[in-house]
Amino acid sequence: MPYVIERKPLTLLERLYIPQIIAGMRVTLKHFVSPNVTMEYPEQRPAIPAGYRGVPTLVMDPNGREKCVSCQLCEFVCPPKAIRITPGEIPADQPDRAHVEKGPKAFDIDMLRCIYCGLCQEVCPEEAIFLQNQYSMTGFTRAEMVNDKARLYELGGTLPDEHFKWDKKKAAAEHGNAH
Amino acid sequence: MNTIVHLWNSLPLVPQMIIKGLAVIGVMFPIGGACSLIERKVSAKMQGRPGPNRAMPFWFAWVPVLGPFLQRLGLFHLMADGAKMFFKEDSLPGHVNKFYFLLAPVVAMIPALTTVTVVPFGAYLGDGGQLVPLVLANLDVGILAVFAVSSLGVYSLILAGWASNSKYPFLGGVRASAQLISYELSMTLSVLPVFLWINAPGGTGSLSFFHVVQAQSGTGLSWDGAWFIFYMPVSAVVFLVSLFAETNRLPFDMAEGEADLVGGFHTEYGSMKWGLFFVAEYSHMMVGSGMFILLFLGGWNPLPWLPLASLVGWLHHVTGWAFTVAPVFVGVLSIAIFLGKVLGFIFGFMVVRWTVPRFRYDQVMKLGWQKLLPLAIGNLIFYALMIAAIQLNLGWPTYLALTAGAIAALAIGLIVPRRQRAL
């Protein structure tokens, strides 16, 4: 509902204008001597708050094993189609992952397409893809802006894991109940 | 030292004048450039950011303390800006009137550099303890010369706006012409009381700035030791506001109007042609603040009731060094005091710039014609009557009655016209 704001007529002192300007100049001078509010970027970096959605990365579990099982859910959910996964088998020389069904042969995220929406992280059933705190992503060529699997793991590093899903599955399988 | 003085005195007049002029320009230009840097730094500080502090020639980083300090100061941004302006492509749009388009920046520089000649920027003790002004041309018509020449500055804005042949420069030019003409009136009227005061009947009259400063150089607690700002505050305020309008500074930057006119009259200009407008604007600012200081703030006198001559005498008395009364020392000291005041004043320009919001164009016109002009006229009448009363020795009751009348008139003027909205 519209309503009318009562505007008080200016007092004589306000209409003289000069006292008001002087008061304003005092405020300006106060800002002049107060410390800067900006950050000198390349030297000083802001503290990244928890839950920040930076560059999407792939992470390993605490035992240094690849978590991604190349289910391709992130590829399907990705709105700008920035993710491209080539599924592959688990290599034979990794016995500690032998019970895992699949792994990605190639995993590319095109950072020129990525919109940092975080849907890939949300959809991942393995908690293998995380948007972490890297906020500055630059390159001189288009090819440089495509993060391949090695680069994604390099950026992602290792995150703590609470579930060790595939260890549990393996233990369960060894006890005879396949589910 | 003596040989140099001798050599200098043996020079013919014309080379002497040329050297003096070049010396003044050689000081003006760097200060003008430094003002643009100071403006950027001060603006930044007022907005809570560090301002330009990156540019540096790589080899300068090897200089231990000075290098990083100058880098933080942003000194090299100034040089980079200047160099950029010199080497940028000097584009000439196809739709402009080429002759007037090229003429306008030149016309802008002429009044900016000409007005400097009659503004004294210091004084030294000549033979017999007489103060001699340091000025390129100590014209007897001083203030008239400044007003006459500086009002030519508006032609450059009109020429630039008109010759650019596009709408924003055109609007900027039209606004500039209207604004400068309206405020010139109040400006001129506001300084008349000063000259009425110092040219009281009976003495030799003069309109030179030196004469004005001399009239503010009294010692002790005498009447003429006080600066004019103390007993002509209204004149000072009107002059100051008109000065802001004349120099196209915020809150009166109608002619440039970055917010609504892109760049106003200089929208179509680039590289050094734009740079010339820029330098001209800063020169106007410096000459304008110099004028204000000479007229109302005691020129090169360090403090009210403490003129330069007393300061130098006191220094000589305390230290006992002979050089403290040497013309060179006194001259440099007076220039330092004067320049310090000018720079302080320019800082004031910047504080106002980041404090007062821009006026709308109709508000600018209203302030000029409906507020400042009547105020200046009333002020002139008051001081004319007051000076007449003092000349006729009518006594304190008359003076007080006149002052009361003036204050009453001011109050009526403030309270009565309430029909239009307050500015």
Q: The complex's ipTM?
A: 0.76
Residue A81 scores a pLDDT above 90:
yes
Cα gap B240→A22, rounded to integer Å:
14
Chain A contact for B238, CB < 8 A?
no
Q: Do A29 and B351 touch (CB under 8 A)?
A: yes
- Domains defined for chain A, CATH in brackets: 56-174 (3.30.70.3270)
Residue B202 scores a pLDDT above 70:
no
Q: Chain B, 211-230: which have a CB under 8 Å from a chain A CB?
A: none
Q: What percentage of chain A has pLDDT greater than the value 70?
A: 99
Same domain, yes or no: B104 and B75: no
Residue B84 scores a pLDDT above 70:
yes
Residue A23 scores a pLDDT above 60:
yes
CA distance A49 to chain B (A): 23
Chain A contact for B407, CB < 8 A?
no
Name which of A15, A17, A32 is nearest B45 (Cβ-Cβ).
Answer: A32
pLDDT tens by residue, B54-83:
888 888 778 788 888 888 888 888 888 888
Same domain, yes or no: B109 and B182: yes
Name which of B46, B237, B423 is nearest A32 (Cβ-Cβ).
Answer: B46
Same domain, yes or no: B77 and B98: no
Of the candidate ranges B99-113, B171-185, B270-284, B312-326, the one whose mean pLDDT is the lowest = B312-326
**Chain B residue with minimum CA distance to A14:** B422
Q: What are A's interface residues with B at a Cβ cutoff of 8 A?
A: 9-10, 12, 14-18, 21, 24-25, 27-29, 31-32, 34-38, 40
Give whole-number Cα distances, B13 to B86, B248, B330, in Å: 34, 37, 24
Cα gap B123→B133, rounded to integer Å:
4
Two tokens at B292?
Answer: 């204000």
Question: Rounded mean pLDDT of B97-101?
Answer: 87
- Is residue B278 included in any domain, yes or no? yes
Residue A67 pLDDT: 86
Q: Do B46 and A38 touch (CB under 8 A)?
A: no
Same domain, yes or no: B218 and B319: yes
Residue B339 pLDDT: 87
Same domain, yes or no: B263 and B364: yes
Residue B422 pLDDT: 47
Same domain, yes or no: B173 and B305: yes
| Residue pair B194/B228 in contact by the 8 Å Cβ criterion | yes
Same domain, yes or no: B109 and B51: no
Same domain, yes or no: B54 and B107: no
Would you place residue B227 in the very low, low, confident or very high pLDDT band (cuts 50, 70, 90)? confident
Contacts of B354 in chain A (CB under 8 A): 28
The secondary element (H helix, E strand) that includes residue B405 is helix B396-415
Same domain, yes or no: B43 and B140: no
Residue B286 pLDDT: 86
Chain A contact for B410, CB < 8 A?
no
**Structural domain harbouring B218:** 91-373
Domain count of the fold of chain B: 2
Residue B300 scores a pLDDT above 70:
yes
- Is residue B42 included in any domain, yes or no? yes
Chain A contact for B408, CB < 8 A?
no
CA distance A20 to chain B (A): 10
Same domain, yes or no: B266 and B205: yes
Residue A55 pLDDT: 92
**Chain B residue with minimum CA distance to A13:** B414
Cα gap A130→A171, rounded to integer Å:
27
Chain A contact for B45, CB < 8 A?
yes
Residue B117 scores a pLDDT above 50:
yes
Q: pTM here?
A: 0.80
**Residue type at position B380:** L
Residue B423 scores a pLDDT above 50:
no
Give whole-number Cα distances, B7 to B11, B15, B127, B331, B356, in Å: 7, 12, 19, 19, 52
Contacts of B49 in chain A (CB under 8 A): 36-38
Picking from A28, A29, A37, A44 by the largest number of B CB atoms within 10 A of its own CB, the best residue to mutate is A28
Q: Do A28 and B45 touch (CB under 8 A)?
A: no
**Chain A residue with minimum CA distance to B349:** A25
Count CB atoms within 10 A of the CB of residue B398.
16
Count CB atoms within 10 A of the CB of residue A79.
11
Cα gap A79→B187, rounded to integer Å:
65
User: Where do we find the tokens 């100061």?
Assistant: B73
- Is residue B8 included in any domain, yes or no? no
Chain A contact for B47, CB < 8 A?
yes
